[in-house]
Structure 1
């Protein structure tokens, strides 16, 4: 397979001087005429400059990019649009490095957003025998505002996490099975001081009683894995954040088989697990003073004589039993094992799971907003605020008590697919395995994939949620506080 991992990203750096002979990029704000920042004298045709966020134009050897009203979203869109335009120009023998002249009063939030957009906006994943085309390699942000090097460094960590999440999810499933995903997690963590990865196989899962993971993975000749990443933090008395990500490396739906249309997209059904792996690596790279454990139950949901069936009763880690009613609702079964394992063994202060769980959330919230369920108001507020800081949108959904009783089963402790609103009842099922730990469930079935370009997103896996998890860890102190 010729798709080098990790995918190379545009390098974004900070400097206080322009380089001789290197083409410049100027920023513009809307107006009549548009207002151009430092270097305005190099604009050849002012009529070709709108200042609208993401609008780009070539001006001789220089380029101009609009940053709109100057919000973080506008700057992120500008960085992404600029890099896409420069990539296209590089393919026509254009330059591959540029100096971006920033305004003297540029804010840290704007620089962070622009860096993120520029780094991942031109992301490209393609399995091909052809040599990759020329691409822009680096941008140098020219500013004398102090502290921007640290801002850019942190934004590059967010970009790398987004890209890693995309890489893992985009990899075709003839390559990516549970063992491959586990090996990729080990490789991603290699060289990050203090970060540990432990991979458990199907024998360990059977011995420990992970009935959900074993049932879902039982129809495939490629057995399941349980991936545990551990970042110990930087001290002894630190809160413990546990992240759990769904790692279904391909989902046929099992015996409750999916329609053929769209099944090819199920290579991205482990986007939640990818987000967790990418986030823990990013947290460790920054050396954040919080203890973090990432759990990824990984399995392939296939059809065969050994596949689990509707009507089966499975026993999860810890002993809770589940009546299976739909083998295509497999994600909640593997998450249940991992959540129970976390509660029983890891003593978390806070528990967050991430999954492409229900099509119902795509109907409810569309394709750009993640569903947020939580048992703790402060945790919900912290997740939403963390997403807003890094350009990921969340909408809190309810956990109504009147629907909770529907999770009970006549022949087991709980049933897998209670009647009612699908996204909510799935969350209520997972809640059964979280004990009294403050818990949030992030359903990313909509925003985990894209079919067109917008902002810093390109078609394919988006890497959604990885940045939110890093931002959550960055601000995390203790439960019931918002950093």
Structure 2
């Protein structure tokens, strides 16, 4: 069988070992904290730190010219806070992979196991963040005829000598699972759209679900969608030769506490339709299903971690294309459940498919709360930039839980307002709703989606900015970032049923 030109999905991540002693043949990195007095303070490598002028600044890596039996690298992790530890882990693995490539080019056989020595008194949080950076900072998705460059395969973490290994082992296992969720979401977003059509995405979701107990996948085709009245999905997908698919993932653990519905936008390529996008913005539209990818990856991790919460995930997958069958501005579309929408911009397709999935998921499964994730509006990139996700919510408790989950996993969210003064603009004169009214784009989109949430506690995560990157920063690399996957896993990990707190129609201050 011919070898696929595409990288495997999911990407192979570093294996992680936790040990109390070093392995002699594997190169070693010493993690160095930044100190107000001096980076050498309290470190067994103080003399080496002095000689190389290492400061311990987050992400600073010094290569030791002649390591002998000591460390080959000194890696700064700042004050040991999560952001600094992630930056240190990412910088470390990039330095390691550059070293392995140089070893190969010099004709040597590069080692595939590397070691990192934690500082004294390292906390579980430091290890978790450092591993997140190391596991994701070396992520690579390249379709090439050239051989893959050498990369480390195993990271051996050395604990402080006076500490028990088991707690660190448990932290490492969980950190790897969350990093795997981000990496899988990146894989799905980065896969080129000449391969990744709705059928391909559905097939991958089925394959991934088949590997885990308690997780099942069901794929609904265009015939089923027509019978059930998914007018938004059929309209958006009507212009493409690749028909739409609704991906349903169900995680049903025994003794589950609560039930959460996750919905992710799955537009596998977005031309903008008849309201066509500018050419320069179109290549990255292969990542327009990043919300759906994050949902698929998160549910897989939730099942792998055996979390005790029932989760239903829906990914309405379609390709928004231009043809004689494409939907038009001025069309009126009937969604699942009967609500009608006047189309005003075919490039506002994400809310059309999400509306169907939200209405269906709530009616069919009666969850306690709903979270949707989507690369929905360019307005959020203007509002919050490229590293922070927009959080809209009808419920204060749910909003706080999402924000806290993001903070614990290194994904930043800023709560935005659901301003009731703009709600009337979502109403149409010839249909129930208007798809893309004038006014603040991110808020208008959220208010449109709220119409399909049946008054349940609901959060809308707009990741149009942080879902993609054009350069390295911390553990992020160019391309799809996997943003939101870790937040969703962490949200479910600490889940308890939401009782309707104060409805936050005009809330929205604070990060």
Which TM bucket (shorter chain)?
over 0.9
Aligned residue for 1:91, secondary structure, equals helix
Aligned length: 481
Aligned residue number for residue 509 of structure 2: none
Question: Does the alignment pair 1:162 with 2:178?
Answer: no
Residue 508 of structure 2 aligns with which residue?
Answer: none
1:230 to 239, 250, 254: 250
Per the normalisation by structure 2, the TM-score is 0.92
Q: Is 1:52 the counterpart of 2:57 in the alignment?
A: yes
Structure 2 CA distance for partners of 1:327 and 1:481, relative to 1, 3 Å: closer
- Could you say what secondary structure the match of 1:125 adopts? coil
Displacement after TM superposition at 1:98 (Å): 1.6
Q: Deviations over 1:12-41 (max 9, x none)?
A: 221122112222110112245422665416
Task: Could you tell me which runs of 5 or more consecutive residues in structure 2 were left unpaired when the two chains were aligned.
Answer: 104-109, 502-511
Q: Among 441, 464, 468, which residue is 2:487 paired with?
A: 468
Which position in structure 2 is the counterpart of 1:3? 7
Change (3 A) 1:148 1:480: farther
- Aligned residue for 1:244, secondary structure, equals strand
Q: Distance in 1 between matches of 2:251 and 2:301?
A: 10
Residues 232 and 36 of structure 1, relative CA distance in 2, 3 Å threshold: farther
Matching residue of 1:219:
239
**Equivalent residue in structure 2 for 1:195, among 189, 205, 215:** 215
Pick closer, same or farther for the CA change 1:481–1:23 going to 2, 3 Å.
Answer: farther
Are 1:21 and 2:29 matched, yes or no? Answer: no
Residue equivalent to 2:268: 249
Residue 45 of structure 1: how far off its partner (Å)? 5.9
Give the Cα–Cα distance (whole angstroms) in 1 for the partners of residues 253 and 263 of structure 2.
18
TM-score normalised by structure 1 residue count = 0.97
Q: Distance in 1 between matches of 2:280 and 2:307?
A: 43
Aligned to 2:84: 74
Cα distance change of structure 1 residues 127 and 479 upon mapping to structure 2, 3 Å threshold = same
Given candidates 326, 349, 366, the residue that maps to 1:307 is: 326
Matched, 1:263 2:282: yes
Give the counterpart of 2:102 among 72, 92, 95: 92
Aligned partners of 1:156 and 1:227: how far apart in 2?
Answer: 26
Question: SS where residue 129 of structure 1 aligns?
Answer: coil
Conserved 8 A contact 2:457-2:500: no
Question: Equivalents in 2 of 1:294, 1:84: separation in Å?
Answer: 34
SS in 2 for 1:173: coil
Give the secondary-structure state (helix, strand or coil) at the position aligned to 2:200.
helix
Aligned-residue offset at 1:119: 0.5
Q: In 1, are the aligned partners of 2:265 and 2:291 still within 8 Å (CA)?
A: yes
Q: What is the rounded CA distance, in whole Å, between the counterparts of 2:62 and 2:112 in structure 1?
A: 17
The verdict on how the C-alpha distance between 1:100 and 1:336 changes in structure 2, with shifts beyond 3 A counting, is: same
Please name the residue that 2:505 is paired with. Answer: none
Q: How does 1:306-455 map to 2 (within 5 A)?
A: 306-455=325-474
> Residue deviations 1:241-273, cap 9 Å, x none?
010000000000000000101201100000000
Partner of 2:506: none
User: In the aligned structure 1, how far is the partner of 2:25 from the partner of 2:204?
Assistant: 41
* Structural RMSD (CA): 1.5
Question: How far off is 1:309 after superposition?
Answer: 0.3
Compute the displacement of 1:58 (Å). Answer: 1.3
Question: C-alpha distance in 2, partners of 1:402/1:481?
Answer: 23
In the superposition, relative to structure 1, how do residues 125 and 212 fare at CA in structure 2: closer, same or farther (>3 Å)? same
**Per-residue deviation, 1:48:** 3.4
Once the two structures are overlaid, the 10-residue window that deviates more, 57-66 or 416-425, is 57-66
Structure 1 residues 262 and 36 mapped into 2: Cα distance closer, same or farther (>3 Å)? farther
Of 129, 138, 141, which residue of structure 1 is paired with 2:154?
Answer: 138
Deviation at 1:137, TM superposition (A): 1.3
Distance 1:195 1:129 in 2: 36
Query: CA-to-partner distance for each residue in 1:344-370, whole Å, 9 max, x for gaps?
Result: 111110100000000000000000000
Whether 1:115 and 2:115 are equivalent positions in the alignment is no
CA distance in 1, matches of 2:47, 2:499: 53
SS of 1:156's equivalent in the other structure is helix
Distance 1:100 1:469, change over 3 A: same
Aligned equivalents of 1:25, 1:326: Cα separation in 2: 54
**Partner secondary structure for residue 395 of structure 1:** strand
C-alpha distance after superposition, 1:100-140 (max 9, x if no partner):
11123111111101111110101000001111011111111
Q: Which residue of 2 aligns with 1:478?
A: 497
In structure 1, the residue corresponding to 2:268 is in which secondary structure? strand
1:172-191 matches, cutoff 5 A = 172-191=192-211
Change (3 A) 1:119 1:86: same
